[in-house]
Structure 1
Amino acid sequence: MNINDPAQLARIKAEIVDSFDEELEMQMEEDRLDDLFEEGTDPTAEPLLDRKVYFQELFRLQHELVRLQDWVQHKKLKVVVLFEGRDSAGKGGAIKRVTQRLNPRVCRVVALPAPSERERHQWYFQRYVQHLPTAGEIVLFDRSWYNRAGVERVMGFCTPDELEEFFQSVPQFENMLVRSGIILIKYWFSITDEEQAFRFNMRIRDPLKQWKLSPMDLESRIHWESYTKAKEDMLERTHRPETPWWVVDAVDKRKARLNCISHLLQQIPYEDVPKPSVQLPDRARHADYYRKPVPADMYVPDVYNATPEAGVPRRVAKSGQ
């Protein structure tokens, strides 16, 4: 790869820009969503984090996450991160930014559906245990065993005795995880009543986001105060020095993501992992090799082959594919 070759340099720059496109697309989608619903905004509210600063810091922190990932693999660490909070608090967006540039074989997300009939009669923690990490893995739980202290409690999906048993058992369960060598980090994403209503209304008005608004989400609006009491009780009874809770102020989603990732990086001391230099080997070539052409009717129709005048470059020739 010759960076002094203008054509090669242009391709390298294009590849780097493309690697940032996913985040840019997600942010543009959120900006479009904000434009759809402007009612209820508070003119006295603190301004949102500047977009340029946000991207600069996000890419820097994601580079550090890659270093952390390498260290977790190198040291065979086992990491569990819980993401809890009200519906629409921004847990999913934060998780996406954490995992965006990581190896899915090392860092994976667990988001379990409602328990099956069989799972409802198991030991409560059993369905979560099977998703715990092995050495060299990071597991992010998008909601976790704390469902019992939140939605199950408020919506009546568990009995008072089952809830009390959970509060008695969870410290012992988490102590077992820590003693086994698991690094356990717990985040609660906190938003205001007004902010949740704002985000729900945006989802209602945006056809691309309506699937995110479940009947349970709508029901949670009715029980805002009950969820608040449940959260306060949960934090009081399960916040311990060995496995503390960390509360993320998530009204500004950009700040919440950066603050959460920055804090996560501070919880696990890591260093650069020595890596051998990689040399791309020459491709073996054989005189009798012949690559057969792909039949034209097997190609996906090239509907975006616009003219350069339209602002879209022509597609590269198929011969090199």
Structure 2
Amino acid sequence: MAFSLQLQQIFPSPIKFCSQPKSPNPQIFPNLTKRLSIHPLAYAQNNATSNIDHNYIVTDESSINEEEVSLPPELRRELMPKHIAVIMDGNRRWAKKRGLPVALGYTAGIRALRNFVKLSYNWGIRALTLFAFSSENWFRPKAEVDLLMGLFDKVLKDEVENLARAGIRLSIIGDSSKLPKSLQDLIDKAVMTTKANSRLHILVAINYSGQYDVVQACQTIAQKVKDGTIEPEDINSFLVEQELLTKCTEFPSPDLLIRTSGELRLSNFLLWQLAYTELFFSHSQWPDFGEVEFLEALSSFQQRQRRYGGQSS
């Protein structure tokens, strides 16, 4: 959903722009190949509307495993990213392309998110940062903003206990003070309920701006200088990182950024934290981003050499 990123000169590794989604192997994905025979509009409506009223992230105990499952053969566990950031773009375009209401694009996006979280959990990813609502998204039509706030509200109500049982920690980054009071209360409850969990840390960026994140860090540091807690010469990149909103996670800098729907920009997301992150841009709109596309992103990541500005080995 809106739960819903040029920069090749800055980042040392090449930007990967993936091909159109691949057709799954019928032996490996029998249900996927079977569903393609359904009329596209009927499939879109079914996909967007079925099971959207409950169990967004975790359906039952069989959805995710207590221990990491075996990785697909094309992946190596020692090369898996610890932290993945995601810009889940294309929900509205997905719906409009199929002649469906925009709301169904977002609910289909929630289904894609559910699957993405399950795969990340089972494959040993330690942190996910999801760009759910930017500070610029307030300029969208009021009806759409209200829809998104309602979806955030419902997902939190339905999922917090499931997340807690699965050992998933939830954090919200961004200026939550501008959110509806009822949503703020749900966020506080979800954060408190899951704060002791450590299997997977999900950071949801709501009313978030990467520029503001850096600004608020600078303001905090400036106040510490004013108070005499630190001296100006004490300020360094490590100190700045400790004041960014991602300080709540063990892995504040993502290893991999995935953006869907073919856009090639960062859209004011995690600007400091993405300094040496590998970028992967997919043509797939977020509701269509499934296991095949996720595997392609991870395989691309594992083939890259991360030099952090140094020489290749």
Bigger radius of gyration among the two: 1
Do they superpose with TM above 0.5? no
Tell which has more relative contact order, 1 or 2 (C-alpha 8 A, sep 6+). Answer: 2
Q: TM-score, normalised by structure 2?
A: 0.33
Greater fraction of residues in helix? 1
